[in-house]
Amino acid sequence: MRRLIIILCALLLIAAGHHRITGWSEGQVAAGTARTLAAVEPVPISLPDTVAPQVTERTLLFYYSPTCPHCQQVMPEINDLMERIDLPLIGIASGSATQSQIDEFAETYKAQFETTIDTDRGFALAVGARSTPNVYIVQPRVADPDAPVDPLTYNMPPKPFEILESYSPFSRGMGAVLLMRQAEDPFEHFEGYVGNIACSTCHEQEAVSWAITHHAQAYYTLYVRERVEESECVRCHVTGMGERGGFKMGDHFSPMTSVTCESCHGPSGPHDGETTDASASCEGCHDADHSVAFTLEKGLPHIDHFAANEMTTAELQEKVAAISRGEAARPLLAFPEGPTVGAEACKSCHRAEHRTLKRAPHSKAMRRLVGVDAENIECVRCHATPAASGPPAEDLSGYRVDEGVGCEACHGPGTDHAAAPTADNIIGLGESCPECVIEAICTSCHTPAWDEDWELSSHLEAIAH
C-alpha cells in the first residue's frame, strides 16, 4: 500500500511541476520510483542436485569465488543483509573453489552461511552466471495447472524453481536496493547512510546530473594527488566520515567516497514527510578557507539536479572526462564582482608586500610580451591584472597592462578594501587550503600549456610576501 502511495506522490509532484530553485532545469523528481519498485516477471529455472534440496522456500543465494576481491569486498554487506532480511541465505562457491579456500574465506570475512561448491558448474549454467559476486532470490515454483501448453517447451524437463530477483554483479551499495524491494515500505530499512546506488535507482535524473558535478569526483581529486590517507583532507571529500554507515578511512571502494546525495540531504534522505533544507549543508564544507567567497546564489545553479536532461550522452561523457582531467570550469572560484584599483593603491598600507611584488617576475610579466603580443588579448589575459572581476574582458581596456600580474590578480578586486580596509572585503588567502583554493587561482594562468612542470609548494614559496 505504502508503495502505491509513494508512486502516486511522485506522479503528483511531476504533475504539479514541483517548486524549483531558480536557475534549475525542468525535470521529474524521483522519475525511476515506479520502475524501481515494480515487480519483475519470475524466470523459471532448474537447479542442480547439489543446490535444489536446500531451496525449500524463498531463499537468497550468494554466488561467489572465495579468492575474488570483489566478493571479499561485499562481504560486510552480505552479512548485514543476513541480519536484516527474513530469508535463509546459502553460499554457492564457483566450481574452481577448494574447501580450504572456502574455510579461509569464511574465517576471514566472518561468513555466517554454509557454502556448497558448484563442482559441475550446474548452478552457473542454470542461472546464466558469468561472473561473481551475484545474489539471487529464488523459490520453488508452483506450476499453474491451468497454464496453456507451450508448444515449444511442453516436452522439456520441468523447471521446478524460479528466480525472483538477480543482482549481478552484486556491488557495494546494492544491499540497500535489495532490502528496499523486499520490504513492504521501501524506506523501512533506511537507517544511517545507505549510499548513492539506492538513491539513484529512484532519483534517476538527479543522479545523472550529480554525476557531472565536481562533487562526484571529490575523492578521485585526493586519490590522484595521493592525499587519501590524510583524514584532514578526506573529511570534506567524502560522505558521512566517522558516522554510522558513513565513510571509513582507507576504504577506497566505498560507495561513501566523494560528496554524494547524503552529504547534503542527510543520512537516508528525507522521506518521512519532514522537508529539510539541503542548502544549509554547503557551508559545512564551503567555508571561508575552502571556497572563495562562497554564497548560495553562486553555488546552487551549478548543482542543478536536472542539468543532464538537456545533454546528449557524448556531452555527459565529455563533462565527466573534463572534470577528471582538471579542465572543467570551477565556477566557485570567481572573485566577488567589482572593479580593481591597482597595486599602487595597496602600497601605502602594505609596503612589504608591495616591495616583494615589485621585485618578483609577476610584476614584470607584461615585459615578456614583445611587439604585437603586448596588445594581443590572448596573451595579455594571463600577463596582466584585470580591470574588474567577472567574465574575461575582450579588449585591452579590460586590463591593467601597466602593472603585470598584480595583487588583485590573486586577491580579487580591492577597491572597497583600499578605501575602508577590513578582512572581509578582500580575499585573504592566508588561512586558505592551498590545494582547495589557492592552487586553482594560480593554475587559472599556470596552465599545463604555459607551465608544464607546475608544482604548488615550491611556487608558493617563491611568491611568499
Cα angle: 34, vertex 37, 41; to 5 degrees: 105
Rounded distance between C-alpha atoms, residue 465 and residue 341, angstroms = 20
The verdict on 345 binding ligand HEC (CB under 6 A) reads yes
**Among residues 84, 364, 393, 396, the one that binds ligand HEC under rule CB under 6 A:** 364
Nearer to ligand HEC, 102 or 426 (CB): 426
Looking only at residues 78 through 97 of this chain, which bind ligand HEC when binding is defined by CB under 6 A?
none
Using the rule CB under 6 A, give the single segment among 108-116, 148-156, 157-165, 230-238 that binds ligand HEC.
230-238
The verdict on 179 binding ligand HEC (CB under 6 A) reads no
Nearer to ligand HEC, 321 or 462 (CB): 462
Residue 317 C-beta: closest distance to ligand HEC, Å? 18
Q: 222 and 241 in contact (C-beta within 8 Å)?
A: no
The verdict on 428 binding ligand HEC (CB under 6 A) reads yes
Residue 352 C-beta: closest distance to ligand HEC, Å? 9
Residue pointed to by grid coordinates 565513510: 247
Contacts 24+ apart (CB under 8 A), 322-327: 323/212, 323/213, 323/214, 323/216, 323/217, 324/217, 324/220, 326/443
Nearer to ligand HEC, 250 or 284 (CB): 284
The verdict on 438 binding ligand HEC (CB under 6 A) reads yes
Q: Which of 3, 330, 35, 22 is nearest to 205 (CA)?
A: 35
Nearer to ligand HEC, 63 or 210 (CB): 210
The verdict on 411 binding ligand HEC (CB under 6 A) reads yes
The verdict on 212 binding ligand HEC (CB under 6 A) reads no
Q: Which of 34, 18, 62 is nearest to 275 (CA)?
A: 18
Count of residues engaged in binding ligand HEC, rule: CB under 6 A? 130
Residue 59 C-beta: closest distance to ligand HEC, Å? 24
Nearer to ligand HEC, 108 or 231 (CB): 231
The verdict on 198 binding ligand HEC (CB under 6 A) reads yes
The verdict on 319 binding ligand HEC (CB under 6 A) reads no
Rounded distance between C-alpha atoms, residue 208 and residue 307, angstroms = 9
Round the CA-based radius of gyration of the chain to a whole number and report it: 29
Rounded distance between C-alpha atoms, residue 1 and residue 9, angstroms = 12
**Among residues 47, 163, 212, 303, the one that binds ligand HEC under rule CB under 6 A:** 303
Residue pointed to by grid coordinates 574588474: 388
Looking only at residues 379 through 408 of this chain, which bind ligand HEC when binding is defined by CB under 6 A?
379, 381-383, 405-408
End-to-end CA distance of the chain: 67
Looking only at residues 321 through 340 of this chain, which bind ligand HEC when binding is defined by CB under 6 A?
326, 330-333
Q: 109 and 66 in contact (C-beta within 8 Å)?
A: no
Residue 457 C-beta: closest distance to ligand HEC, Å? 9
Set of cell numbers at residue 465: 610576501
The verdict on 182 binding ligand HEC (CB under 6 A) reads no
Question: How many Cβ atoms from other residues are within 10 Å of residue 398's Cβ?
Answer: 18
Residue pointed to by grid coordinates 506450476: 143
Residue 40 C-beta: closest distance to ligand HEC, Å? 15
Q: 180 and 186 in contact (C-beta within 8 Å)?
A: yes
**Among residues 84, 159, 235, 319, the one that binds ligand HEC under rule CB under 6 A:** 235
Looking only at residues 23 through 62 of this chain, which bind ligand HEC when binding is defined by CB under 6 A?
29-30, 33, 36-37
The verdict on 137 binding ligand HEC (CB under 6 A) reads no
Buried b / exposed e over 301-336, threshold 16 CB at 10 Å, is eebbbbbbeebeeeebeebbeebeeeebebebeebb
CA distances from 257 to 249, 262, 418 (A): 10, 11, 43
**Among residues 376, 391, 455, 457, the one that binds ligand HEC under rule CB under 6 A:** 376
Rounded distance between C-alpha atoms, residue 347 and residue 444, angstroms = 25
Looking only at residues 281 through 300 of this chain, which bind ligand HEC when binding is defined by CB under 6 A?
281-282, 284-287, 290-292, 299-300
The verdict on 189 binding ligand HEC (CB under 6 A) reads no
Looking only at residues 245 through 284 of this chain, which bind ligand HEC when binding is defined by CB under 6 A?
259, 261-265, 268-271, 275, 277-279, 281-282, 284
